[in-house]
Amino acid sequence: MTPKERIEYLRKTLNHHSMLYYVYDSPEISDYEYDMMYAELLRLEEENPQFFDAASPTQRVGGTALDKFEKFTHTVPLNSLSDVFSYDEISAFIERVKKELGYIPKFSVEPKIDGLSVALIYENGRFVRGATRGDGNVGEDVTQNLRTISSIPLVLNEPLSLTVRGEVFMPRSSFAELNRIREEAGDDLLANPRNAAAGSLRQLDPRIAAERKLDIFIFNLQSGDIGQKAVSHTEILKRLGELGLKTLPKRICTDDTDKIIEHIKHIASERDILPYDIDGIVIKADDLSVRAILGEGTNTPKWAVAYKYPPEQKNTKLLDISLSLGRTGVLTPTAILSPVRLAGTTVSRASLHNIDIIRERDIRIGDTVTVQKAGDIIPEVVCSIPSLRDGSEIPFAMPDTCPSCGGAVTRDTGADGDEGAAYRCGNPKCPAQLSRNIAHFVSKAAMNIDGLGPQIIDQLLGASLISDVSDLYALTVEDLIPLERMGEKSAQNLVNAVSASKTAGLARLIYALGIRQIGEVAAAVLADEYKTIDALIAAPLEELCSIRDIGEITARNVREYFSNPENIAIIERIKSYGIVTETEDKTPTSAKLDGYTFVITGTLPSLSRDEATALIKDNGGKVTSSVSKKTDYLLCGEDAGSKLTKARELGITVISEEQLREML
């Protein structure tokens, strides 16, 4: 056998066994035998580079790191589905279909995998490109990272050209291992497998994506040839499985409404033991001719709905209530729980929001409480269970003094004079506040000082090298070298990053100051309005109230901040170090968007939020933070939230990044 023949044999054999292992879950050889063949192939390919093939199993992680992802336009849109939240709504959907057709057709009832939707493109049986859903029309080309997923065959069993849609997810075991590694490294833990999968697939370095051990289920044929005529979704999935694609499990096909609901309940009972997360069940007409008759709505098909499971709830013991201190001095109560498995992760802490919530729900230390994940992400205490009390439970009260500095704690007052929800430490020198204020000041969206994380900030404070943000600009390499894990090169890099932040601009500086309720958009509005920090400092309350996106409470927060002599002193010291505190009057490059007001939501395919804002402003448009009747367009990306809902309610035109570019 020649080297070329041996290479081709090994590639074909390894692809076959990889498919058996990752797709069909029926391995025929041991890991050792596979590894030996893989090592031989790797050696032969190195010795014979003229036989390189991108579809070789050795090339799953063959690409170099990218600078950015290129945008990709889907030839067939990756549409979303209408959501339903009750069995009554499912029955109503089926009745609508029956009314349209005169009978109830068969429906495919399948799990809704909680992951990231992608399109995979095969040409002559070879995987050539893959992209994220994006806004349904335009996504990102993530081919290199998709190649690292072992359950995606690089070569199909037949040389066919087709595009399929699937859901990339992170198995629970991979998620647990990833968080274990992050915890050991002192990094923040990831919230859930879905976010972890989305972040992994958008890594610019495919080697990092490969380490995350992602998986995929294919659930739709978008276009192309499957080698036979199919009249139903069931037939298509069966055929895609024969071609070597990993299709959706736990699926039934029925025209019985009761069986549909029974299957939904059955899958719900198994959610805890599934190796992957699901957030609902998809119910879609199985017969392709039925789909054609029912047709498509504006953004969703009329032949399918997605039933969303209510948040999973569990009972556990409330061991204690701790207080965390935010950068604005707000004391936030957090429930310390007896660990409980909830929606795919172990939960030991949960939000209690504020004292009013605790009182309304009569939550006491020692109670048995019901917990859930809001949006399947953030753990929260839903209620207490008074019937399980034994008399040892302790009511909770907010302290009179700050647990960090001992300063006085006061309750906020609203603009109408009523009590607010927040309790706040009023000491601006409070150590806990100071650390978080500095962390906010140096964050990416603010002054963007790379390399200055919470641990280094705490070291700087502990060594009395800084007492507020202005002191950062006086740091020298000699100051930094004695810090733990800080060599001369790292110290120089940090000093350089601090120096580079001086030109961040007025909008970033205003945001970095940490004024209550002043986010990135409001900071940009104030910078546009006043042009200099001195003009903003002198702005009267009435004038601030008249500015778009700046309400009365926000305006009062601005005046309160700049009425504090200590804050003014910090700003004067910042100015003395040469930080830019003015903004240039930038003339728009065109007036194509003049008179139009935009709101941005979700993750855009190729533009960051800042880049999209700049693009709109450069062409004469305005960008605001909230949807209202004055909004002309909602620029919408993937994972849009409440802004999209409100825009639809108000009849606001929703556009994609591609449509924005067409307007220009």
CATH number at residue 232: 3.30.470.30
| Same domain (yes/no): 301, 339 | no
End-to-end CA distance of the chain: 60
pLDDT band at residue 129, thresholds of 50, 70 and 90? Answer: very high
Confidence band for 203, pLDDT divided at 50, 70 and 90: confident
Question: Are 9 and 118 in a shared domain?
Answer: no
Domain with 499 in it:
431-503
Of 604 and 370, the one with more pLDDT:
370
Let me know if residue 149 belongs to a domain: yes
Determine the Cα–Cα distance for residues 521 and 502; give it in Å rounded to an integer.
20
What is the mean predicted confidence (pLDDT) over 251-262? Answer: 96
134 and 217 in a common domain: yes
**pLDDT at residue 344 tops 80:** no
Within this chain, do residues 524 and 640 fall inside the same structural domain, yes or no?
A: no
pLDDT of 180 strictly over 90: no
Q: Are residues 247 and 102 in the same domain?
A: yes
* Per-residue confidence (pLDDT) for residue 62, from 0 to 100: 60
- 130 and 211 together in one domain: yes
Indicate whether 300 and 323 sit together in one domain.
no
Yes or no: say if 596 and 635 are a contact pair by the CB < 8 Å rule: no
pLDDT band at residue 375 using 50, 70 and 90 as cut-offs: low
Residue 641: pLDDT over 70 = yes
Count of Cβ atoms closer than 10 Å to residue 624 Cβ: 17
Closest by CA to 141, choosing from 167, 121, 111, is 121
How many domains does the chain divide into? 6
Confidence of residue 534 (pLDDT cuts 50, 70, 90): very high
Looking at the chain, the whole-number percentage of residues with pLDDT higher than 90 is 50
Domain CATH number, residue 524: 1.10.150.20
Is position 496 within any domain? yes
Distance between CA 114 and CA 135 in Å, rounded?
Answer: 17
Check residue 202 and give its pLDDT.
83
The Cβ of residue 54 has, within 10 Å, a number of other Cβ atoms equal to: 12
DSSP annotation of 154 reads S
> Structure tokens of 224?
């192309």
How far is the C-alpha of 525 from the C-alpha of 257, rounded, in Å? 53
- Residues marked active site are found at 112
pLDDT confidence bin for 23, thresholds 50/70/90: confident
* Predicted pLDDT at 312: 81
Does any domain span residue 87? yes
Question: Does residue 412 belong to any structural domain of this protein?
Answer: no
Residue ending a domain, choose from 289, 308, 327:
308
What local confidence, expressed as pLDDT, does residue 186 receive?
A: 65
Give the domain-ending residue among 544, 576, 608. Answer: 576
Q: Let me know whether 498 and 510 are in one domain.
A: no
In a domain, 588, yes or no: no
Mean pLDDT of 577-582: 93
Q: What is the pLDDT of residue 416?
A: 52
Distance set, CA 351 to CA 322, 342, 371, 516 (Å)? 10, 14, 10, 21
Pair (511, 459) in one structural domain? no
Range with lowest mean pLDDT among 95-104, 124-133, 191-200, 443-452: 191-200
428 in Cβ contact with 566 (< 8 Å): yes
Identify whether residues 193 and 229 lie together within a single domain: yes
Q: Do residues 271 and 312 lie in contact, with contact meaning Cβ atoms separated by under 8 Å?
A: yes
Residue 212 has pLDDT above 80, yes or no: yes
Using an 8 Å Cβ cutoff, are 402 and 325 in contact? yes
C-alpha R_g of the chain: 28
On whether both 112 and 167 belong to a single domain, the answer is yes
Q: What is the mean pLDDT of the chain?
A: 89
CB 165 within 8 A of CB 219: yes
Same domain (yes/no): 335, 463: no
CA distances to 67, 454, 467, 654 from 497, rounded to whole Å, are 20, 16, 19, 39
Token pair of 145, please? 């990272």
On whether residue 164 sits in a domain, the answer given is yes
Residue 198 has pLDDT above 90, yes or no: no
From 292, 308, 324, the end of a domain falls on 308
- Note the helical H segments in 501-551: 506-512, 520-530, 533-537, 541-545
Whether this prediction's pTM lies above 0.75 is answered by: no
DSSP 272: G
Residue 288 lies in a domain: yes
CATH code assigned at 341 = 2.40.50.140
Between 214 and 36, the more confident residue is 214
As a whole number, mean pLDDT of residues 422-435 equals: 84
**Is 106 a member of any domain?**
yes
